[in-house]
């Protein structure tokens, strides 16, 4: 097999629109070029595929485009398992994208040069037993990938999850051949008990507090609790067909590799994230405030894992980005063995126990914002009220567990920490 045959160029689409070509310059090296039609339809500098890859005539080198394309792939142990299942190297960015690129996060579709995406939806519909079996075998078949059935798709992250299509009537299936998925199933892991209830509770509290979040619900599959998350990067067209909505996380938008998603590893800081929002968002002022409120929320619930891949931009319409709904909201503080260090430092502090209103005002000064102390306290007070309301709702709905009370204690402690600091300031 010649090198040319081993690295067949991949056509890169946004939905059904051809944008350009991704070439493999080696297993771990890629390069991307916008095609002439795309350059003709969009002005130079348009953040079309990514804020880090604006439209231009020159080809993007490996170092320039790899962070975006790497960001489409699974991470950690899941990446290892996928690579083993597909018999490719875990560091082979090109081969993993060639195998999995037919259904990625956002509207990105990668297909072998000249290949046509299926026109009709191709879905393997699942019985209850078949769905349960696929959930149970996730440690061996991550994301539900099954090359024998043509189920090849990709989603970033390191948690076990099953990528599915769900009808309004509740029927589940697995997409094949590039058919868009609509939902993500995240079963409760053994390592982190009640993670499903943790995330659902945090999402509900965030919604109550006025934050935009992904939609989710708790379901049981063969008696095992799972979180069913509706993908915000999918939408129904006027004709009733599921279409892809483009999105990218902050690491992709800033040209940062997924392995560097934490600020201490070279990943996005709060200042860089705010600068990104100001630079590209179509609603920069509102999105900046929403981002600040989300930082306060993650601090309050004890989520130290709110890194650059857990914030995203949605491009709707095409080429017009704005802040995406929040997702992966979890209190990490309630689990032993997880680092308490913040993924993004707040006013120079990485230890949440040391964060005061002074740190929030230092952050505001650094980012060119007005003082944040009053907003932080108002937001925190609203979160405290919402925690109590959602605890009552969880009890009424029958999914309350003791872990939720532990999250409530974390929120109360963090709120008191800021209240004491405020008293000292005044």
Write out the two tokens for 97: 């994208």
Domain extent listing, the chain:
3-112, 123-230, 245-425
In tens, the pLDDT along 319-359 reads: 899 999 999 999 999 999 999 999 999 999 999 999 999 99
Residue the block writes with tokens 């097999």: 1
Radius of gyration over every alpha carbon of the chain, rounded to an integer in angstroms: 22
Q: What count of other Cβ atoms lies within 10 Å of the Cβ of residue 183?
A: 18
What three-state secondary structure class fits 403?
helix
Given a contact cutoff of 8 angstroms between Cβ atoms, the answer to whether 411 and 301 are in contact is yes
| Whole-number Å distance between alpha carbons of 162 and 134 | 8
Give the range with max mean pLDDT: 152-161, 183-192, 305-314.
305-314
Q: Is the pLDDT of residue 404 over 80?
A: yes
> Using one digit for the tens of pLDDT, what is the confidence trace for 218-258?
999 989 999 999 999 998 776 667 889 999 999 999 999 99
The alpha carbon dihedral of 262, 268, 274, 277 has a sign of: negative
Measure the CA–CA gap between 384 and 386, rounded to whole angstroms. 5
Cα separation of 238 and 109, whole Å? Answer: 21
pLDDT tens-digit map of 33-80: 999 999 999 989 999 999 999 999 999 999 999 999 999 998 888 888
pTM, entire model? 0.92
Q: 245-425, what's its fold?
A: 1.10.1070
CA 408 to chain centre: 25
Q: Please report which helix (H) or strand (E) contains residue 109, including its range.
A: strand 108-112
Q: Which ranges in 49-147 belong to alpha helices (H)?
A: 62-70, 76-86, 93-100, 128-136
207 token code pair: 């919604």
Please name the residues in contact with 72: beta carbons below 8 A apart, sequence gap of 6 or more: 97, 101, 104, 105, 108, 154, 156
Catalytic residue among 305, 328, 361, 421: 305
Written as six digits, the tokens of 251 are 């690491």
The 10 Å Cβ neighbour count of residue 325 is 19
Which is higher by pLDDT, 88 or 214? 214
Q: Is 305 a catalytic residue?
A: yes
């Amino acid at each position: 097999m010649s090198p040319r045959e081993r690295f067949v160029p991949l056509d890169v689409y946004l939905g059904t629109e051809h944008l350009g070509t991704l070439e493999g310059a080696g297993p771990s090296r890629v390069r991307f070029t916008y095609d002439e039609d795309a350059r003709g339809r969009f002005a130079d500098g348009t953040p079309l595929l990514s804020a880090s890859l604006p439209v231009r005539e020159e080809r993007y080198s490996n170092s320039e485009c790899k962070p975006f394309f790497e960001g489409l792939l699974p991470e950690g142990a899941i990446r290892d398992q996928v690579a083993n299942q597909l018999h490719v190297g875990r560091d082979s960015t090109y081969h993993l994208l060639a195998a999995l690129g037919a259904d990625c996060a956002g509207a990105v579709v990668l297909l072998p040069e000249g290949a046509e995406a299926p026109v009709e939806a191709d879905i393997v519909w699942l019985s209850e037993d078949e769905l349960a079996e696929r959930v149970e075998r996730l440690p061996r078949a991550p994301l539900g990938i099954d090359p024998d059935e043509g189920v090849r798709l990709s989603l970033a992250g390191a948690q076990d999850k099953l990528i599915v299509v769900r009808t309004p009537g509740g029927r589940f299936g697995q997409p094949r051949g590039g058919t868009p998925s609509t939902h993500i199933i995240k079963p409760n892991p053994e390592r982190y008990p009640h993670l499903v209830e943790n995330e659902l509770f945090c999402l509900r509290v965030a919604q109550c507090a006025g934050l935009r979040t992904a939609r989710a619900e708790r379901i049981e599959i063969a008696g095992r609790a799972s979180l069913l998350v509706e993908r915000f990067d999918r939408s129904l067209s006027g004709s009733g067909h599921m279409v892809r909505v483009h999105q990218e996380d902050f690491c992709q938008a800033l040209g940062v590799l997924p392995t560097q998603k934490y600020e201490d590893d070279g990943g996005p800081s709060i200042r860089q994230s705010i600068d990104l929002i100001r630079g590209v968002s179509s609603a920069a002022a509102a999105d900046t405030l929403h981002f600040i409120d989300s930082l306060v929320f993650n601090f309050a619930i004890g989520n130290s894992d709110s890194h650059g891949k857990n914030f995203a931009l949605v491009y709707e319409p095409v080429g017009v980005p704005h802040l995406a709904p929040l997702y992966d909201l979890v209190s990490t503080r309630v689990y032993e063995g997880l680092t308490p260090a913040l993924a993004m430092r707040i006013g120079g502090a990485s230890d949440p126990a040391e964060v005061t209103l002074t740190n929030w005002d230092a952050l505001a000064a650094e980012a060119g914002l007005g003082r944040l102390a009053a907003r932080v306290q108002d937001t925190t007070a609203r979160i405290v009220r919402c925690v109590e309301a959602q605890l009552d709702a969880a009890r009424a709905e029958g999914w309350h567990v003791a872990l939720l009370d532990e999250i409530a204690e974390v929120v109360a402690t963090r709120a008191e920490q800021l209240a004491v600091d405020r008293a000292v300031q005044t």
